[in-house]
Amino acid sequence: MNEERYIEIKNDPDYTVFNFVSEGRYGKLTKIVRFDQLKRRDSTFNLALGTLLDGGEVDFTSITNNGDRNKILATVAKIIFIVVEKYPDMDIYVTGSDSRRTLLYQRAIIYAYDELIETFNIYGVLTNDEMIDYEPFDRAKSYLGFLIKRK
């Protein structure tokens, strides 16, 4: 993506956990992007974005409001590109921890849609029940989540 993003991204050997440092109004915060294989869809990773806390735990629900939201989203998009290169047969499921975050992800997809569809098929998830109810992404609709498949 052409958006400004964090360049220094670290990953585990399996390419399922990534981290980078968010720099903003509250200082430096380590962001964690984790990909967990779904039990009900073994060809799908769930993407989880969180913040590393002082005790070593990861908080996947708090809003850090560090002032670098777009840079973080662009970095997460880059990480998705890396993961699908490593795991070309895996889909990525993305949803927010609440409806506001899901809407934020939807807006980010809309913003970068023309670039994203060059590499991915993007679907809007209509129900979270087994993710069997999804449709090609429509910018005018609201979704509960998003399924990203490499072309």
CATH for 73: 3.40.630
> Could you tell me the pLDDT band of residue 129, with boundaries at 50, 70 and 90?
low
5 domain-assigned: no
Arithmetic mean of pLDDT over the chain: 93
User: What's the total number of domains in the chain?
Assistant: 1
111 domain-assigned: yes
Could you tell me which residue, 132 or 120, shows the higher pLDDT?
120
38 beta partners? none
Could you tell me the two tokens for 6?
A: 């964090």
Tell me what pLDDT residue 19 has. 97
Q: Domain range holding 75?
A: 10-150
The CA-atom distances, in angstroms, between 20 and each of 7, 9, 65, 84 are 8, 5, 16, 19
Q: Are the C-beta atoms of 93 and 36 separated by less than 8 Å?
A: no
3 domain-assigned: no
> Could you tell me the pLDDT band of residue 40, with boundaries at 50, 70 and 90?
confident
Read off the pTM: 0.91
Closest CA to 33 of 13, 12, 2, 7: 12
1 domain-assigned: no
pLDDT at 51 exceeding the cut of 60: yes
